[in-house]
Amino acid sequence: MIDDSYKASPERYEDGMMNYRKCGNSGIKLPIVSLGFWWNFGGIDPYANSLAKVRYAFDHGITCFDLANNYGPPFGSAEETFGKIYNENFRPYRHEMIVTTKAGYNMWDGPYGIGSSRKMLMTSLDESLRRMRLDYVDIFYSHRYDPETPIEEAMQALVDIVHSGKAIYIGLSNYPIEKLEEAITYLEGEKVHPLIYQGKYNMMVRDVEHGHFDVLAKHKVGFTAFSPIAQGVLTSKYLKGVPSDSRIAKGHYLTTANIPPELIAKLEKLNEMAEGRNQTLAQMATAWLLAKQQITSVIIGPRTIEQLADSIESIRNIDFTDEEIKDIDKILL
């Protein structure tokens, strides 16, 4: 049922609402903040909360919505949530949206429900389109490098998916450097230039700085960062213990071992820096990424509207002095 009561804010593209960056060597610009559906949009989450966050994001200029086949929980439920929201609210705005999905990690039982075989990638995309009630996605990612599938098979599947019209662009995610180079070279040989690479990147996790950025710059591929606040670690929420509604308390990929006392001491210093910049620690962590010219967009996954608003506010100050950058490195490295 279409919700005729929702009308997107007429101010969503006004100057200062959101910034957009050119994505690699393409004609596409992405919002510097994208909305991710990994957690907090699944079948266990209240639908009304998910709807409110997507509306708020779009009304504030966020046009890119990042999903994957196994986002939830349970698997597939984030795409189902998005499909319901899209069908009832956003069909009139489809041409203004960049919708992404991915395949490669565990999705269904049996030998064909994981990896990057042609069967898995193509079947998964068909199922994702059904769940999201879409005819196509704007970006379809190979979610990870699969050592059990020849890279030629996986990349040719992506090429054929673009030719089928089920995806406009191709993206790659979680590839080791040498395989990333090989994958991009294959795609370029087939005249399907990859639009973007997605990698884990934040103040604490900087692996992509050691080679990935060089490969992406060489081939003029964009970069979008996920886990900008390290699943909530780079916020002030753990400075005084573990909140009952946090991912650590709920066992969502984090445990108390991920925040030992020595890390808490570092977070306290970072929090003092953020306060000196008139930002929250989460805002400073996101701004630290956006200050880098290699970054096209940062994916956020807010649990609440307040967290979403806090993340969007981070774009207001992405300027760091050389001294601030050195201080951050001194604290963390």
The 10s digit of each residue's pLDDT in 80-92 is 999 999 999 999 9
Task: Give 97: exposed, middle or buried? Use CB within 10 Å, 0-12, 13-18, 19+.
Answer: middle
Query: pLDDT for 216-264, tens place per residue?
Result: 999 999 999 999 999 999 998 888 755 555 555 455 566 667 778 899 9
- Cα-based distances in Å from 191 to 24, 159, 194, 219: 15, 8, 9, 13
Q: Where does 20-332 sit in CATH, by number?
A: 3.20.20.100
Element holding 136 (H helix, E strand): none
Task: Give 109: exposed, middle or buried? Use CB within 10 Å, 0-12, 13-18, 19+.
Answer: exposed
pLDDT score of 249:
46
Task: Give 207: exposed, middle or buried? Use CB within 10 Å, 0-12, 13-18, 19+.
Answer: exposed
pLDDT score of 5:
84
Q: Is the CA virtual torsion 52, 56, 62, 63 positive or negative?
A: positive
pLDDT score of 247:
52
CB-CB neighbours of 307 under 10 Å: 20
Question: pTM of the prediction?
Answer: 0.94
pLDDT score of 140:
99
CA-closest candidate to residue 272, choices 310, 327, 222: 327
CB-CB neighbours of 325 under 10 Å: 12
Residues of the chain below pLDDT 50: 249
pLDDT score of 239:
84
CA-closest candidate to residue 187, choices 20, 25, 22: 25
